[in-house]
Every structure is written in C-alpha cells, then in structure tokens.
Amino acid sequence: MGADRRAYSELARIQPSPVVRLNGAVAIGMNEGPRRGLALIDELGASGELDRYHLYHAARADMLRRLGSFEAAAEAYRRALALMANGVERAYLERRLAAL
C-alpha cells in the first residue's frame, strides 16, 4: 500500500466522510492511474451522497479527461459548473471544459 493510500485510510478512520474518501480516491488515481481513480470515484458516487458536491463531478471529469473520454468529461465538468458558486474554481473548470 502506497503512502497516499495509507494516509487517506488513516484519515478516513479518524474522520470518516465521503469527502475524505473522495480525496483518497483522487490521490490513488494520481498514483495508480486514472482508470483506478475513476473506479473508486464512481463507487463513491453510487451512494448519491456526493451528487450535489461540485468537486465530486470535477474529480470525475479530470479522471475521464485523463482517460481520453472527452464527451463524458465535458458532461461531468458541466455538472460541476452547475453546482459551483466560487468564481476562481468556476474559471478553472471553464478553461478545462473549453480545452476539450
């Protein structure tokens, strides 16, 4: 088990939450590859707990983009944008979407 995985496992034990698990899935995706990260993110999304959390959709979009699934990534970026109010984050995701 890598250091990222161990750190997030410990954090999830101490502070269990869907957001902590999402952050762990993103770290694993960056370390083990986007296919693994997307699988973990989609597994978390199955509960519906993160449906209204823009960073869930942004993380999914990034993994999909890294896999070359540009249409699905664009859809996930649009979903994230629809849920987002922060101007700086919005501008970042709009640039990512435009790049697709």
Name the residue range of residue 90's domain: 3-99
Tell me which residue of 20, 95, 41, 29 sits closest to 66, measured CA to CA.
29
- Is pTM, for the whole model, over 0.85? no
Strands (E), 3-92: none
74, 97 Cβ separation under 8 angstroms:
yes
Helix (H, G, I), strand (E, B) or coil at 2: coil
- pLDDT digits 0-9 by tens, 53-70: 999 999 999 999 999 999
Whole-number Å distance between alpha carbons of 86 and 45: 22
**The pLDDT of residue 28:** 93
93, 77 Cβ separation under 8 angstroms:
yes
| CATH (domain of 17) | 1.25.40.10
User: Amino acid letter at 21?
Assistant: R
- Count the domains in the chain: 1
- pLDDT digits 0-9 by tens, 11-40: 667 777 899 899 999 999 999 999 999 999
User: Amino acid letter at 92?
Assistant: Y
Confidence tier at 7 by pLDDT (50, 70, 90) = low
